[in-house]
Amino acid sequence: MHIRNITLLLAPLVLGAVVLQGCSKSIEKAGPEAIQDLDQRDYDAVEKLAKSVKGLGDFRPSPSESSILERVAASGPSHLVQVLVEGGANVKNKAADGHNAITMVVDFDADPASIKILADAGADPNATRSDGTTPLMSAAQKGRPAMVEALLAAGADTELKSHFLGENATALQMAKATRALLAGPRVTTAQAATNMSALAGAAVTAGAGKTKIEDLDKVIQLLESAKPGK
């Protein structure tokens, strides 16, 4: 479990009476006490309620916020993602910017096993944000081989291109660009504003070395092997 992710994403969000507005009858039947006491950081409580409340994973406080399924996918154990899916969560739902639960698994470096669970249930492994980026692009750029492997197994498209900052790049090209930047001089914030590749490198170097060249090499190898015709 990644504590930093819980702190960042699952800041105390207690589902109070507001949950009862616009939610399914199943949630209403859970009773106000159960809803008011549900803290999404308490995985045991979420699991217990999910087994009795159909569609609990679909609830989102507002259209711009993540659903319970997306939040759990971002930091919780894969078995709880499975519980929410089996409890009727609609894995095909997407947020306003186009991201879905698979995107959250990748963005917050959560449990790669959740990707298979979500994809098998019908979640789109190629969910595309407004800037054209997909989960595979994010995983490749951040040097996360386990995520890339899980996404490829789930059917992620290696040939899709992002139009981030006006440039077109595949996941493989993003990984190679990031590797080149990490192997070279450190990228400054001012330089990062000039193009997509520099921005990607700055995002990585600002992360105190969280992305390693050897991980990017593994990602590049996986993507090279997955190219059409290989």
pLDDT at 12: 34
pLDDT at 93 over 90: yes
Structural domains of the chain sorted by starting position, each given as residue range(s) with its CATH number in brackets: 1-90 (no CATH), 125-230 (1.25.40)
pLDDT at 59 over 50: yes
CB-based burial of residue 68 (10 Å sphere; 0-12 exposed, 13-18 middle, 19+ buried)? Answer: buried
pLDDT at 222: 98
pLDDT at 84: 95
pLDDT at 195: 53
- What is the spatial distance between Cα 83 and Cα 73, in angstroms, rounded to a whole number? 11
Q: Which amino acid is at 153?
A: A
Terminal-residue alpha carbon distance, the chain = 36
Q: Which of the pair, 93 or 227, is modelled with greater confidence? A: 93
Mean pLDDT across the chain, nearest whole number? 77
Q: Which of the pair, 189 or 227, is modelled with greater confidence? A: 227
- How large is the average pLDDT for residues 5-10? 39
Q: Which of the pair, 181 or 142, is modelled with greater confidence? A: 142
Query: In what helix (H) or strand (E) does residue 154 lie, and over which residues does it extend?
Result: none
Q: Which of the pair, 89 or 199, is modelled with greater confidence? A: 89
pLDDT at 165: 52
Tokens describing residue 199 = 């921005």
- What is the spatial distance between Cα 40 and Cα 55, in angstroms, rounded to a whole number? 15
Is 211 within 8 Å of 182 (Cβ atoms)?
yes
Radius of gyration of the chain (CA): 19
C-alpha 54: how far from chain center: 23
pLDDT at 207 over 60: no
pLDDT at 228: 79
- What is the spatial distance between Cα 172 and Cα 176, in angstroms, rounded to a whole number? 6
Is 196 within 8 Å of 132 (Cβ atoms)?
no
Across 96-119, b (16+ Cβ under 10 Å) vs e yields: eebbbbbbbbbbbbbbbbbbbbbb
pLDDT at 186: 58
Q: Which of the pair, 79 or 45, is modelled with greater confidence? A: 79
pTM over 0.85: no
Over the stretch 174-190, which tens digit does the pLDDT of each residue have? 999 889 888 876 555 44
Q: Which amino acid is at 117?
A: I
